[in-house]
């Protein structure tokens, strides 16, 4: 039986890669996409999500435009990483539009329609998910689970010394979802090790689309070097890890009490993971700590051949 997923995203190159592979999987059914501001503006992330679906001839998948800014803070984006439009390469101009429903409302509609058959896959800032939980506090109990790419539980961050980007952008939303959502927390502890070889990405770049565009997304940190065969090393594709784990259980988890820092400074968006049970509070999240890299790479190679 396929697992139904609602893909909540801020494309972003690794987001686009993750959505592409989810669409290729026989084990997953993408029932919809909700967009959120993060890697770039909501206008860009929404257009990019539509472009991914256009690239793979899957414009039957509905896209709902979500929150344009974090809950309480000004938006901070990452175009310096993902490019001025949010994704690299040359994806097609979308020929379809979003549905006439907000991202949060569409998310709730999918929760009520699919119930415990639904997994919310959230690979951007958690603004949409936090808003949906605020409206429907029972959301985590109504669905199968929430799988998040975000946070740095027991490792350094990539936006501050302690914080990963998605949690940094909207720490209040992350705190709400981690506290109340009982999520899978798939953070930098595993995603920075879940890499693709330079040779694999360069070989894809020599093919026709959609593989050539997917190679640009896989190698977004060094996009200008891909076609020349000059990638410096293994390529990190954070959000893809969530999709492959849903298919193949490539991650090992431990349950911990988890909180998220909402102050300013270095601890904004930092994950506080109570490894030694100092607080004596119940666990709130399944935290990914180990990844099977060969299984990760093998499954990606299989999925790519289906695109």
Is the omega angle on the peptide bond into residue 12 within 30 degrees of 0, that is, cis? Answer: yes
pLDDT of residue 224: 67
Over range 152-173, report the average pLDDT: 97
User: Has residue 94 got a pLDDT over 90?
Assistant: yes
Of the residues 56, 82, 114, 238, which is catalytic?
A: 238
Q: Classify residue 165 by burial, with Cβ atoms within 10 Å: 0-12, 13-18, 19+.
A: buried
Reported as a pLDDT band with limits 50, 70 and 90, residue 177 is: very high
Q: Which domains does the chain have, with CATH numbers?
A: 3-304 (3.90.245.10)
Question: Mean pLDDT across the chain, nearest whole number?
Answer: 95
**How many CA atoms does the CB half-sphere of 219 hold within 13 Å?**
28
Tokens of 44: 């860009």
pLDDT digits (tens, 9 = 90+) for 226-235: 666 777 889 9
pLDDT of residue 89: 81
Look up 238 and say whether it is catalytic.
yes
pLDDT of residue 228: 65
Over range 153-158, report the average pLDDT: 96
pLDDT of residue 227: 62
Over range 9-18, report the average pLDDT: 97
pLDDT digits (tens, 9 = 90+) for 68-85: 999 999 999 988 777 778
Over range 282-288, report the average pLDDT: 97
What DSSP string describes 36-87?
Answer: -SSSS-HHHHHHHHHHHHHHTT-TTS-EEE--SS-SSS-----HHHH-TTS-
């Amino acid at each position: 039986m396929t697992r139904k997923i609602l893909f909540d995203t801020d494309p972003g190159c690794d987001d686009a890669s993750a959505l592409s592979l989810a669409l290729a999987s026989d084990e997953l059914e993408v029932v919809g996409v909700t967009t959120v501001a993060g890697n770039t503006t909501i206008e860009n992330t929404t257009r990019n999500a539509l472009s991914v679906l256009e690239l793979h001839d899957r414009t039957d998948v509905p896209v709902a435009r979500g929150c344009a800014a974090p809950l309480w803070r000004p938006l901070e984006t990452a175009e310096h990483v993902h490019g001025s439009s949010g994704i690299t390469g040359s994806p097609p101009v979308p020929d379809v539009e979003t549905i006439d429903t907000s991202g949060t409302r569409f998310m709730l509609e999918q929760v009520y329609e699919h119930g415990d058959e639904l997994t919310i896959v959230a690979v951007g800032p958690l603004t949409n998910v936090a808003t949906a939980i605020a409206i429907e506090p029972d959301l985590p109990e109504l669905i199968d689970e929430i799988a998040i790419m975000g946070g740095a539980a027991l490792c350094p961050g990539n936006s501050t010394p302690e914080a990963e980007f998605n949690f940094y952008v909207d720490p209040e939303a992350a705190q709400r979802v981690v506290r109340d959502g009982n999520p899978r927390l798939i953070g930098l502890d595993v995603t920075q090790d879940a890499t693709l070889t330079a040779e694999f990405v360069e070989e894809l770049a020599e093919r026709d689309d959609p593989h050539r565009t997917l190679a640009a997304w896989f190698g977004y940190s060094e996009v200008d070097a891909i076609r020349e065969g000059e990638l410096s090393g293994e390529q990190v594709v954070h959000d893809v890890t969530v999709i492959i784990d849903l298919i193949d259980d490539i991650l090992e988890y431990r349950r911990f009490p988890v909180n998220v820092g909402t102050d300013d400074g270095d601890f904004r968006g930092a994950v506080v993971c109570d490894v030694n049970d100092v607080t004596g509070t119940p666990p709130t999240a399944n935290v990914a700590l180990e990844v099977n890299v060969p299984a990760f790479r093998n499954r990606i190679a299989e999925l790519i051949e289906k695109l």
